[in-house]
Amino acid sequence: MHNMKLVLFDLDNTLLNGDSDYAWGQFLISQGIVDPVEYEARNDEFYRQYQAGTLDIHAFLAFQLAPLTRYSLEQLNRWHTEFMHQTIAPMITPQARQLVKQALADADLVAIITATNSFVTRPIADAFGVEHLIATEPEQINHRFTGNVSGTPSFREGKITRLNSWLGNLGHQLTDFDESWFYSDSRNDLPLLNAVTHPVAVNADPILNAHAIAHHWPQIDLHGTD
């Protein structure tokens, strides 16, 4: 009997040695696309809230998606290509690439599941060779972003909602899999980490680190230079 295996990866500070969401904001500042003083202060504040587990995802998304509404998709994609080259490529470690490659070889289904919106993260998933991306979906009308979110943000408990819906579309449910793995760095992912059979903490934040120790979860480092 074939052993069914699902592998899920968080993206920011897990597969990436850095945060693509925050970095995209910094990139917009560096290109003079947004007001540096006001935008940077808010970007920093939201990132602190995220790390503290107090983020209001809707307030953050309203802020984060606003710049996307001002430009054509063509222009945004040109900037994103530069962002991938300049900012994201250096965040992808050989360890992370190897782990994903191994999962793609071993598992029946592999996905990246991230709170960061799909405009920022789809090309990053492609860079890892991962077809399936569960991300927060920014609404588009006539090839323009509206600044609104389509459906449930892929954040905290929302990751479980979105995962179940994605699996349902493929004719599966989580319990179909003998093994379900989820790799994450963040306390914000405790709901989904608790829902899988094999939670793995990656370069964990302090709250997740304490939880992983208490529950004897494996912990790995994907960002070390060795």
Q: Is 10 a catalytic residue?
A: yes
Which residue out of 12, 21, 185, 205 is catalytically annotated? 12
Gap between the Cα atoms of 121 and 134, Å rounded: 9
DSSP 93: -
Q: Is 176 a catalytic residue?
A: no
Gap between the Cα atoms of 142 and 177, Å rounded: 38
Gap between the Cα atoms of 147 and 171, Å rounded: 31
φ, ψ dihedrals at 132, nearest 5°: -95, 120
Residues forming beta bridges with residue 132, ordered by sequence position? 111
Q: How many CB atoms lie within 10 A of CB 87?
A: 17
Which residue out of 10, 19, 21, 205 is catalytically annotated? 10
Contact present, 185 and 205 (Cβ < 8 Å): yes
By annotation, the residues acting in catalysis are 10, 12
